[in-house]
Amino acid sequence: MIIAGIQKYRFSRALIGISCLIIATVLSAQENSQLDIDTIEIPEARLPLCFGFTNIANPNALAICDALELDENVRARELSEQWVRGEPDSPGAQFAFAEVLFSVEGNMPRALFHLNRAEELTNYESLEAAVVSGNIQWHYLTLSQLSYVHQLMGDQLKSLDYLDKIATIYGQDMESFRGWPLIKLKQYDAARESANRVLQNSESERERARAWNTLCAVELASLTPIESTSACDRAIDEDENIASRENDFDTVYLTNASEVSLSLLQMDQAEEYLDRATRYLNPQSVADPWIYKLFLTLNQGRFDDARSALDRMLIWREQQEPIVSVMNRAEHFLVSASFLLVAGYAEDAVKLTQTALNQPDRNGSYSADDAQKDSFAALLNMMANRTEYQIQLENLSTLDFYESIPARFQANRLRLDAWRAERRAASLFADFEILQNRLRPYAPLDVHIPEWVEPEIIQLIGTGVMKNILNQARANGAFQLNEGYYYGYLVEIAAKESDSDTVLEAGALALSQLPEQEILLRARVAANMANASWETELYPGALEFFASAYQQDPSIFRRMDIRIPVMITTDETEFAQLVGDYVAKSPRFIEDSNGLKIEVETSPDLSACFKTRTGTVLSCYTMAAADNHSSKWNAQELTRLFHTSTFGLGYDISKAQRSILLGSSVILSSQTNSNLRNSRDAFLVR
């Protein structure tokens, strides 16, 4: 997703404060004269600032600002509550309380309520009326904040209305801030015209950078890849010096540049931008580069790098300001769930995806909309429930009938939850245009659904509909850079239709053309080809595909509910025979003399090994026998742990760590954040 903010180009509230002071002074002296703001010399700001102004004298406001300056956020909340309770008709009190709710707690709905109240108390239609009232600062701040909050909460028309109010009443040029709301409204022609007006009329580096970012997003809106990245490059640096290390602080524009590079399938370049963005911790930025680094490394099957990115992402998230946390929390949940799903922690992935559905992002600063984020969350929730269902079936294979009754109820509940998530995802993906855009590899304006996840959409929509949309997307140029992705979708459609010949034919084309970095997607293609080859009795080729898919992504067969044909051999002890019987009943395997090999032994330790026909070890689990338990218990435990080891990544992620992934209270986390007040820009767009 392209993001709309950058710290380097922050809208200076100090400048607003000084400008408003000058306006007030001049109008007081010249009530009937025409004011020319451009002729006024702006003096140097006098510190300290309070809400961006140098002349606020109200002791309540000053006390709140002092508390915020000292990171005494609880005290700031108490003081602002006392002020608004004691003076409910004070626009300053209403704004100050809204500011604390917004910046310290990230509570946009309550902040909006008090901003609306502040607007009611300062409903001025002219600059002179605002000056005469004595509330000019509160009026200006209220309008600016209302525009920003409405943008974040998804009401772009109201955001534009407040920009127009500021321009009308205060005579300030707000054109550079109009581009992003227009992008969110998908009014791309209007956004382009707005950006070009800024570039023609403004010499401000900040405004021009915002305009270039708008043009970048407009160019990316096409289904076909862009021919030039010049607009996106210039959004990062007005001199088009994107390689300069001085730009490494521009977290947002660097992640945007990464998205653009990824949409052009320049994966190494995309990762280089992300690496630059990770060098400087930026708590004020909604762009957490570790999110995208985790997505990228997971796609590429670089599981150790992905595990490291997960840890670093959590460190970054804990340092985020509260208002940022509510803007990208679902992103954190969904990328964490993606990793846990592959790593074998499907139950935790279910919780994370459900939380993402219940607590969506305030994504007014993202090019993707709420429906897209919800669709990904529902899709991943469906996958997580189905995967956990398969894990429960694996465990059931070791239980007697009466032992299995509670587990069967649990498994059926998971199956029902997966169906519910599937229906919700299907309804969200029903829009033809959304599906067309989704099929383009790494569509830069859409929510980031990994390429190895997107084939799951076919089951939601149906093969006939998807085949039609796929061919239209191909004709429109969606696969212009690499047709391997087209054939990857074709493999999935053919597999759903049990068309083994097309699976093998399209699969060969997909594997020959897909980028080498697409490890998880290639594993999915190979798994489908393995199944198709086995069904058509092409056993040698099938075994190669089974082994190849497994080596690239051990979780793929569990997620796709594909049985691996195996020949089970034991050392003929009673214990080994029992384990062999459990494995034979597992939904992961089907016994066949032509299959891969599973060997169960009891000496020197209890072990179960998954191997190729030539003896290459794919997975092996060994444990010492627990003397205080029965042979049956040991056999059940070995079988269960063998499945866990074989179809996961082998990372021991503690329950405490997994709980941390669900996040913490933004109120508590705000206690460790620095200077929340000065970090906000009411018109931050990128």
The overall average pLDDT reported for the chain is: 86
Express each pLDDT in 362-403 by its tens digit. Answer: 767 767 677 778 889 999 999 999 999 999 999 999 998 888
Instruction: Say yes or no to pLDDT of 679 above 70.
Output: no
Backbone angles phi, psi at 118, to 5 degrees: -65, -35
Q: Which residue has the higher pLDDT, 509 or 323?
A: 509
For residue 220, the Cα-to-chain-centroid distance in whole angstroms is 19
User: Average pLDDT, stretch 318-346?
Assistant: 90
Element (H, E) at 340: helix 322-343
Tokens of 650: 């082998």
How many Å apart are CA 487 and CA 503, to the nearest integer? Answer: 9
Sign of CA dihedral 268, 273, 278, 279: positive
| H helix intervals, 264-321 | 267-277, 289-299, 303-319
The crossing angle, in degrees rounded to 10, of helices 251-263 and 267-277 is: 170
Express each pLDDT in 276-320 by its tens digit. Answer: 999 888 888 888 999 999 999 999 999 999 999 999 999 998 888
DSSP type of residue 284? T
Task: Tell me the CB-side half-sphere exposure of residue 550, using CA atoms within 13 A.
Answer: 25
Express each pLDDT in 138-177 by its tens digit. Answer: 999 999 999 999 998 889 999 999 999 999 999 989 999 9
Angle, vertex CA 344, rays to CA 340 and CA 348, nearest 5: 50
| H helix intervals, 122-178 | 127-133, 136-153, 156-170
> Which residue type is seen at 132?
V
Say if strands 606-611 and 596-601 run parallel, antiparallel, or are unpaired: antiparallel
Express each pLDDT in 125-140 by its tens digit. Answer: 999 999 999 899 999 9
Q: Where are the domains of the chain?
A: 564-646
Distances (CA, A) of 346 to 297, 307, 340, 352: 19, 16, 6, 10
Secondary structure (H, E, C), 579-622: HHHHHHHCCCEEECCCCEEEEEECCCCEEEEEECCCCCEEEEEE
Residue spans of beta strands (DSSP E) within 435-586: 564-570
Q: Say whether domain 564-646 belongs to CATH 2.30.30.100.
A: no
Q: Which residue has the higher pLDDT, 219 or 539?
A: 539
User: Average pLDDT, stretch 422-441?
Assistant: 82
User: Average pLDDT, stretch 331-337?
Assistant: 93
The crossing angle, in degrees rounded to 10, of helices 136-153 and 156-170 is: 160
- Adjacent-strand bridge partners of 3: 366
- Report CA Rg, the chain: 29
pTM of the shown model: 0.85
How many Å apart are CA 469 and CA 450, to the nearest integer? Answer: 19
pLDDT at 680: 31
Instruction: Say yes or no to pLDDT of 682 above 70.
Output: no
Residues 6+ apart with CB under 8 A from 293: 271, 274, 275, 278, 305, 309, 312, 313
